[in-house]
Amino acid sequence: MMAAERLDLLLHGFLSRFFAIPARQPALGAVTFAQMRVLWTLERLDPATPGRIAVRLGIGSPATTEIVERLVRAGYVQRTHSDEDRRRILLRLSLKGRRLVEEFRSSRQSRLRKLVSRLKGDDVRRMSRALESLNDIISRSNGG
């Protein structure tokens, strides 16, 4: 098996198991992973248009519209019109959405701390360096 294939399998397995449970915990709002991705994106881009979110996440406009609509109905996202162009829709996290993102981050960090505490120090340092390198490569290849 090639290194990239092995890494893909390892990352997919880890990320699937790591993110699957907390995103659906009732205390965290019972949202899907796709919805959490939109909320995380909005946190970074706030405000953003639905089109910008679709491009950022690499998903189609219809899927983005459906996800956003559910988040608006649930009170996690606020939809407004641009002051410059009333036809342009802007999305922002609501206070409820911001709280959900913060609670999810806290839960995720707590879970990660527990997992990392079971690793040896050298393993943590190697993994950190490798992830930093991969993040740098991705940032450069995506234009920052």
Per-residue pLDDT of 17-35, as tens digits, reads: 777 654 455 555 578 888 9
> Residue 80 falls within a domain, yes or no?
yes
Quote the percentage of the chain above a pLDDT of 90.
Answer: 41
**Nearest partner of 14 among 142, 116, 129, judged by Cα:** 116
Residue range 32-44: mean pLDDT, rounded = 90
pLDDT in the model for residue 99: 94
CATH code of the domain in which 28 resides: 1.10.10.10
pLDDT in the model for residue 7: 85
> Residue 94 falls within a domain, yes or no?
yes
Per-residue pLDDT of 79-112, as tens digits, reads: 988 778 778 889 999 999 999 999 888 988 898 8
Q: Which of the four pLDDT bands, split at 50, 70 and 90, describes residue 60?
A: very high
> Residue 44 falls within a domain, yes or no?
yes
pLDDT in the model for residue 77: 95
> Residue 36 falls within a domain, yes or no?
yes
> Residue 138 falls within a domain, yes or no?
no
> Residue 40 falls within a domain, yes or no?
yes
pLDDT in the model for residue 23: 47
Domain of 99 in residue numbering reads as: 19-118
| Own/partner long-range contacts of 30-35 (Cβ < 8 Å, ≥24 apart) | 31/71, 31/74, 31/76, 31/100, 34/59, 34/63, 34/67, 35/67, 35/70, 35/71, 35/76
Residue range 37-43: mean pLDDT, rounded = 93
> Residue 58 falls within a domain, yes or no?
yes
| Count of the separate structural domains present in the chain | 1
> Residue 135 falls within a domain, yes or no?
no
